[in-house]
Amino acid sequence: MLEGVKHVILVLSGKGGVGKSTVSTQLALTLKEKGFKVGLLDIDLCGPSVPYLLQLEGKDVHQTDGGWVPVYADNDQKLAVMSIGFLLNSRDSAVVWRGPKKTAMVKQFLTDVCWGDLDYLLIDTPPGTSDEHISVMEALKAVKCDGAIIVTTPQQVSIEDVRKEITFCKKTEIPVLGIIENMSGFVCPSCTECTNIFSKGGGEALAQLAQVPFLGVLPIDPRVGALLGKACVTELPDSPSAKTFNTIVQKIT
Amino acid sequence: MATSVEKAGSVPEHCPGTESANAGKASACAGCPNQQICASGPKGPDPGIQLVKERLEQVRNKILILSGKGGVGKSTVTALLGRSLAAADKERNVAVLDIDICGPSQPRVLGALNEQVHQSGSGWSPVYVDDNLSVMSIGFLLSSPDDAVIWRGPKKNGMIRQFLSEVDWGTLDYLLMDTPPGTSDEHLSASTYLSQAGLTGAVIVTTPQEVALLDVRKEIDFCRKVNIRILGVVENMSIFVCPCCKRLSEIFPAATGGAKKMCEDLKVPFLGSLPLDPTIARYCDEGRDFVGDLPNSPAVDALNGIVTRLVEMCDSKEE
């Protein structure tokens, strides 16, 4: 399983909608821009977002003797992507599965996809601490997993769920590579006044409390959400988000 | 309806269904990997369904708050709806049940952190945040905010069954059930257990951007598959008003027309939009009563409109 993969990194968050998928895709694109071969596996079975965020909707996964061939986001085949979104007939159809079926699917994603040689495999997860997470942790026991990046937004209600996720990592002995605080402040485009819509500093405070590294702050920037498959570091090189992505990648490589 | 839930996934064509007396014995079962489990498992509907029905007999409207996407404000909207329903009429009894087992937010949002649930002869007593507003959440059962509930489906299922069948709500006009994101165990369990108790319907919460709508369409598909009536869609975080220059910004841009367009496409009722107001986020973090403290804010205005339409939708079924 995952023989040719050098590093495996999980992207986790107890809370939903904090930007796990956006962070995962942008980290994958940033790593690719740095010249690495990257894989991105989306194990959010009930709400896969990666195909849309990389503009790969409607692409098909092919089956070969070696297993499922992932979808490549670029012509050089440096960014391989796998998601349940590629296996669904319609983008509107729901995957109404209970745990055991999700577990089987996650295992299949980890064992049956022929990723080839990869420098980094990023795994984007659904919110929570349940079936998908337990399955992926169990499956990864056999492989060397570098650790988990935890994404949060600054407000208390999100931090509270993320504390549970850190406990989960500790219980399952997955090292926490660090915390990213997303959606931290919005700069009004007309008056440049910064409003902390979801307050500020919660991620950093949490990192201190839990004694895990703090990786950086990403502001609310609607331009990043609209990038859809393009790397923030090349399209918006001067934006604060691009700087943060660069530092994060430096810290984890 | 329970069987339609069990068959919602991709089951073999002639599968008799797990609750059938023929489960595991029909000719179609030969060769099915689940044959043994089906043949040896208990037959008939889950006894929990009957217990839930009896327990919730005094509850007039049972509403699920759903969203395929996380972090769109299900818990915030649930709390605001609960507060608003309770504030509009003191005679009205409202309760909030948090079935998000892995990430319970209601204790914080409703300002009931560190409260305890008491057990009595008639079941668990919920926590009262107001005279006519009670709440139940797994958050009250955890000893520390760091405690993670690392459970697979069946255990979550058991907890939801207990919440639905063992909480002593008393007589209620509205029971709002806040759910986790997705279309999986919690949702299936809740809809199965409530199948005989008469679920009024579901309110679906979304934000305007396509990446959220994508998951929300799946949730609407789920509701249709398991026969849950959709009472309407609430669009949260729609517009942000800069507190300094009053300029409107779309933080989560509705590139594909937003929730309203989706409602038209999928023919589901649209209940209204809530603006993105940093004060709401702050009030939720502190567990304060946004509806009562800032009755003149545009968000509360919008909320009251949504509540009025929701009440109409609930009543229209009862006629």
Question: Any idea what the CATH number is for the domain that residue A159 is in?
Answer: 3.40.50.300
SS3 sequence, A210-235?
A: HCCCEEEECCECHHHHCCCCCCHHHH
The band of B27, judged by pLDDT with boundaries at 50, 70 and 90, is confident
pLDDT of residue B319: 45
Structure tokens at A191: 């008056």
Of the candidates B69, B209, B243, the beta carbon closest to that of A16 is on B69
Query: Parallel, antiparallel, or unpaired: how do β-strands B240-241 and B248-249 relate?
Result: antiparallel
Question: Do the Cβ atoms of A74 and A86 come closer than 8 Å?
Answer: no
Same-domain status, B152 and B30: no
pLDDT of residue B11: 65
Residue A15, annotated ligand binder? Answer: yes
- CB contacts under 8 A, A 87-146 vs B, are 91-103, 126-131, 133-134
In our burial notation (b when 16+ CB lie closer than 10 A, e otherwise), range A234-246 reads: eebeebbbbbbbb
The band of B10, judged by pLDDT with boundaries at 50, 70 and 90, is low
pLDDT at B7 over 50: no
Handedness of CA A27, A30, A31, A36 (dihedral sign): positive
Min Cα–Cα distance to chain A from B58, Å: 30
pLDDT at B39 over 70: yes
Min Cα–Cα distance to chain B from A117, Å: 30
Mean pLDDT score, B67-80: 95
Same-domain status, B90 and B145: yes
Q: What is the percent of chain B with per-residue pLDDT over 70, rounded to a whole number?
A: 95
Same-domain status, B141 and B12: no
**Residue B155 within any structural domain of the chain:** yes
The band of B15, judged by pLDDT with boundaries at 50, 70 and 90, is confident
Give the integer Cα–Cα distance in Å for A45 and A30: 25
pLDDT of residue B317: 66
Question: Do the Cβ atoms of A174 and A149 come closer than 8 Å?
Answer: no
Q: What is the count of structural domains for chain B?
A: 2
Note whether B156 contacts A91, CB cutoff 8 Å: no
Structural domain boundaries, residue A149? 5-252
In chain A, how long is the greatest CA-to-CA distance?
A: 58
pLDDT of residue B4: 42
Higher pLDDT, B302 or B318: B302
Structural domain boundaries, residue B16? 8-40
Q: Which of A184-188, B64-68, B134-138 has the least mean pLDDT?
A: A184-188
The 8-class DSSP code of residue A61 comes to: P
Note whether B184 contacts A99, CB cutoff 8 Å: yes
The band of B5, judged by pLDDT with boundaries at 50, 70 and 90, is very low
The band of B6, judged by pLDDT with boundaries at 50, 70 and 90, is very low
Residue A185, annotated ligand binder? Answer: no
Question: Do the Cβ atoms of A239 and A224 come closer than 8 Å?
Answer: yes
Mean pLDDT score, B283-311: 94
Min Cα–Cα distance to chain B from A112, Å: 20
Same-domain status, B147 and B199: yes
The band of B32, judged by pLDDT with boundaries at 50, 70 and 90, is confident
Q: What is the percent of chain B with per-residue pLDDT over 90, rounded to a whole number?
A: 77
Of the candidates A91, A102, A129, the beta carbon closest to that of B184 is on A102
Higher pLDDT, A103 or B13: A103
pLDDT at B12 over 70: no
Q: Identify the burial level of B137 via C-beta atoms within 10 angstroms of its C-beta, where 0-12 means exposed, 13-18 middle and 19 or more buried.
A: buried
Same-domain status, B176 and B195: yes
Q: What is the count of structural domains for chain A?
A: 1
Give the integer Cα–Cα distance in Å for B292 and B288: 9
The 8-class DSSP code of residue A169 comes to: H
How many other C-beta atoms can be found within 10 angstroms of the C-beta atom of residue A206? 22
Give the end-to-end CA distance of chain B in Å, rounded to a whole number. Answer: 22
- Residue B160 sits in a domain whose CATH number is 3.40.50.300
How many other C-beta atoms can be found within 10 angstroms of the C-beta atom of residue A209? 12
pLDDT of residue B37: 79
Mean pLDDT score, B127-148: 94
**Residue B53 within any structural domain of the chain:** yes
Of the candidates A17, A164, A198, the beta carbon closest to that of B281 is on A198
Model confidence pLDDT, tens digit, residues B212-263: 999 999 999 999 999 999 999 999 999 998 888 888 889 999 989 999 999 9
**Residue B2 within any structural domain of the chain:** no
The band of B2, judged by pLDDT with boundaries at 50, 70 and 90, is very low
Mean pLDDT score, B50-74: 95
Same-domain status, B31 and B115: no
- Spatial neighbors of B75 by CB under 8 A, at least 6 apart, are A157, B98, B100, B105, B106, B109, B178, B284
Model confidence pLDDT, tens digit, residues A126-185: 999 999 999 999 998 888 899 999 999 999 999 999 999 999 999 999 999 999 999 999
SS3 sequence, chain B?
A: CHHHHHCCCCCCCCCCCCCCCCCCCCHHHCCCCCHHHHHHCCCCCCHHHHHHHHHHHHEEEEEEEECCCCCCCHHHHHHHHHHHHHHHCCCCCEEEEECCCCCCCHHHHCCCCCCCCEEECCEEECEEEECCEEEEEHHHHCCCCCCCCCCCHHHHHHHHHHHHHHECCCCEEEEEEECCCCCCHHHHHHHHHCCCCCCCEEEEEECCCHHHHHHHHHHHHHHHHCCCCEEEEEECCCCEECCCCCCEECCCCCCCCHHHHHHHHHCCCEEEECCECHHHHHHHHHCCCHHHHCCCCHHHHHHHHHHHHHHHHHHHHHC
The band of B9, judged by pLDDT with boundaries at 50, 70 and 90, is low
Mean pLDDT score, B145-153: 92
Residue B43, annotated ligand binder? Answer: no
Of the candidates B211, B212, B242, the beta carbon closest to that of A195 is on B242
Please give the interface size between A and B, counted as residue pairs whose CB atoms are below 8 Å apart.
Answer: 211
With beta carbons under 8 A apart, name residues in chain B contacting A158.
71
Question: Among all chains, which residue has been given the structure tokens 């079935």?
Answer: B99
- CB contacts under 8 A, B 22-41 vs A, are none
Give the integer Cα–Cα distance in Å for B76 and B102: 17
Residues in chain A predicted with pLDDT less than 50, given as ranges, are none
Same-domain status, B30 and B141: no
Note whether B211 contacts A21, CB cutoff 8 Å: yes
Same-domain status, B18 and B64: no
Structure tokens at A171: 């219980």
pLDDT at B172 over 70: yes
Same-domain status, B188 and B298: yes
